[in-house]
Amino acid sequence: MSELTAAQLRAKKAFEEKDLNKDGLVTVDEFKEAFSYLSPERLKQLLEVVNRNDDNEISLDEFLGRF
Ligand SMILES: [Ca+2]
Ligand SMILES: [Ca+2]
């Protein structure tokens, strides 16, 4: 991976906080846990944007792609 910008580094930190079991992937369940304050519809929309390859996990690359 190329050099990360400051914003990406912050995002990486946020990603690692959401990755509860520290396996390097944020599963849909972990994602829902992290964004439990969002409504179910909003969560679903956000997931569709972030999880671009439509598996049930969000990789760091997918997460950083948002920034
Ligand atoms: Ca995980
Ligand atoms: Ca994915």
Distance from Cα 41 to the centre of ligand 1, integer Å? 22
Find the 9 Cα to ligand 2 centroid distance in Å: 20
pLDDT for position 1: 57
Q: Distances in Å between the alpha carbon of 6 and those of 11, 25, 34, 45, 60?
A: 9, 21, 22, 26, 15
Query: What sections of 1-67 are H helices per DSSP?
Result: 6-18, 28-34, 40-50, 60-64
Q: State in Å: Cα 6 to ligand 2 middle.
A: 23
Within 8 A by CB and 6+ apart from 21, the residues are 30
Start-to-end CA distance of the chain, whole Å, equals: 15
CATH number assigned to the domain covering 6-64: 1.10.238.10
Question: How far does residue 13's CA lie from ligand 1's centre (Å)?
Answer: 14
- pLDDT digits over 7-65, tens only? 999 999 999 999 999 999 999 999 999 999 999 999 999 999 999 999 999 999 999 98
pLDDT at residue number 45:
94
